Amino acid sequence: MATSAPAKSVDSVRIQKRLQKVGIPRGMRDFVVTGAKRVMAPGEEERRVSYLSKVPKPRCVDFDSFKKAGAGFLDNAALPEGEAATQEAQALLAELKATGQVVKPARQRKRDFLVRLAGHAELLARPEIADFVLSDELLALASHYLGQVPVLTRFDMWWSPINDKMSESQFYHYDGEDETQLKIIVYLNDVDLENGPFTTLSAADSEKVKSTKVFAQRRSERLDDERVESIVGKDAVVRIVGPAGTLAACDTGRCLHYGSRAKSRDRFILMAQFTKFLCPKALVPDWKLEGDRRSFNPLQKLVLNVT
């Protein structure tokens, strides 16, 4: 089937950059983008909230506990598509290595510790990977967590090469797209303390840090371990470690987190981002999905924002 992005798509990122360039404050920029989305797609958020009643509750987590914590492991048994997706992503990674594409670009902002190896076009073209990220179970988790059928706004393969520097997202931080969002993480190789596990605080412990003066009222602040642990203690730190195929999820808008501190081995992951439709800093993408490889069900069409 041929699909295309509907006219309601709004380039939030471009609008944000233009407004920032002329000195518009962040809060006003967010207000303008959200308003533009409402005008372009009247009733769309309400439709997504209403559709939630048709989506079964997820089984891959204890949902109430996960909703409170904002982060945790996912049960692989409830997400059987994860194994095939991991294997297919590992095969893609092997192809990239064999063709010399696992290299640091000459010009990349995060070149020291985080390199994007593949994006949604390459990943969704592989049925096993698409079947995972669009699985009923994963979409149920994202939908019920966010309180509406969300939009898949990013889907990438990332490489964290061995590095000895600390910058940007290697410090505790919130992601800035929205104050609540959900990221799904799939490890493509074994991850322990030596190759930069995804590390997070619970939403409650993050709020304790946020409520202190260390943030200086800025969500974009980067915090070192010492400052964070002085407030919540070392025992509050949750490190996502596990073998290849480990699945986890985190609300990176509610939970302070960091990653990519790869000391002695590289780390490779898939990461998918789900946001609310009116998210002020995430593009509602045109996934450019073509061909008749699969027929999307109504929930998948909403998540991909295709007709």
- Per-residue burial over 129-154, b = 16 or more CB atoms within 10 Å of its CB, e = otherwise: bbbbbbbebbbbbbbbbbebbbbbbb
- Residue pair 265/193 in contact (Cβ under 8 Å)? The answer is no
pLDDT band at 4 (very low <50, low <70, confident <90, very high): very low
pLDDT digits (tens, 9 = 90+) for 223-261: 999 999 999 999 999 999 999 999 999 999 999 999 999
Distance separating alpha carbons of residues 22 and 16, to the nearest angstrom: 10
- Residue pair 209/225 in contact (Cβ under 8 Å)? The answer is no
pLDDT band at 105 (very low <50, low <70, confident <90, very high): low
Tell me, what's the pLDDT at 255?
97
Tell me, what's the pLDDT at 43?
92
- Per-residue burial over 157-185, b = 16 or more CB atoms within 10 Å of its CB, e = otherwise: bbbbbebeeeeebbbbbbbbbbebbbbbb
Q: Above 60 in pLDDT, residue 2?
A: no
Position 83: which residue type? E
Distance separating alpha carbons of residues 240 and 145, to the nearest angstrom: 20
Tell me, what's the pLDDT at 3?
39
Query: Which of 28-32, 93-97, 113-117, 257-261 has maximum average pLDDT?
Result: 93-97
- Residue 190, phi then psi, degrees to nearest 5: -65, 135
284 token code pair: 């509602």
Q: Above 60 in pLDDT, residue 290?
A: no
Tell me, what's the pLDDT at 1?
36
- Average pLDDT of the residues of the chain: 88
Q: What average pLDDT score do residues 126-132 get?
A: 95
Q: Would you mind telling me the total number of residues written for the chain in this entry?
A: 307
pLDDT band at 9 (very low <50, low <70, confident <90, very high): low
pLDDT digits (tens, 9 = 90+) for 55-64: 999 999 999 9
pLDDT band at 164 (very low <50, low <70, confident <90, very high): confident
β-pair type (151-160, 198-200): unpaired
Distance separating alpha carbons of residues 37 and 53, to the nearest angstrom: 23
Tell me, what's the pLDDT at 282?
79
Tell me, what's the pLDDT at 93?
98
Q: Structural domains in the chain?
A: 12-304 (2.60.120.620)
